[in-house]
Amino acid sequence: MSEEREKREAFLRAYLAEFDEACPVCGYSLLGLEGGRCPECGERLSLCVHRDGWEMYSWGIGLIPLAGVMFWSSLSLIMRAVVLDKFSWAQFGVMICFGLGAMAWVRWRRAFIQLKPGLRGLLAGGLWILAFIAGLVVMYFTRP
């Protein structure tokens, strides 16, 4: 065993001597762990540092409706043009708005992460509602 691995395992054992963490694989309690492996599932474990909080999850949850509506409306726009020989300005507008929205969402990711958690959730959730409304608008304007 390398010296660095030995050191890392010592830190892991010291940490788990005080804090009760669940095995990330099987959920078994690791309090008082003896070696570097989970006694239940045998998976090798290591101590690591990661960013605190759920910032990236709420950012990702907000990106889904933006990118999804943009993708869906552009695909649908092309299909309607090819199959039905029809064009919808409402659909085109939705595609542009959500495309620009997705670009802004990616561009200002850092600013989003620094918002208060409640506001982040509200923004991300609001985008899903907006996507739903946009879907209804497009459906209305492209109905047969």
Q: Give SS3 for 44.
A: strand
DSSP lists the bridge partners of residue 29 as: 22
CB of 48 to Zn ion, least distance (A): 16
Q: Which is nearer to Zn ion, 23 or 67 (CB)?
A: 23
How far is the C-alpha of 43 from the C-alpha of 29, rounded, in Å? 13
Given the complex with Zn ion, which of 42 and 53 has the nearer CB atom? 42
Least Å distance between CB 12 and Zn ion?
14
Instruction: Compute the least distance from the CB of residue 24 to Zn ion, in Å.
Output: 8
Closer to Zn ion by Cβ: residue 9 or 63? 9
- Residue of 40, 18, 37 lying closest to 27 (CA atoms): 40
The token pair that represents 54 in the structure block: 């759920």
Q: What CA–CA distances, in Å, run from 2 to 8, 9, 12, 91, 112?
A: 10, 11, 15, 60, 42
Give the residues lining the site for Zn ion (CB under 5 A).
23, 25-26, 28, 38, 40-41
For the record, the structure tokens of 51 come out as: 């960013």
Please state the closest distance from residue 74 (CB atom) to Zn ion, in A.
45
Nearer to Zn ion, 29 or 74 (CB): 29
- Residue 5's H or E segment, with its range, is helix 3-18
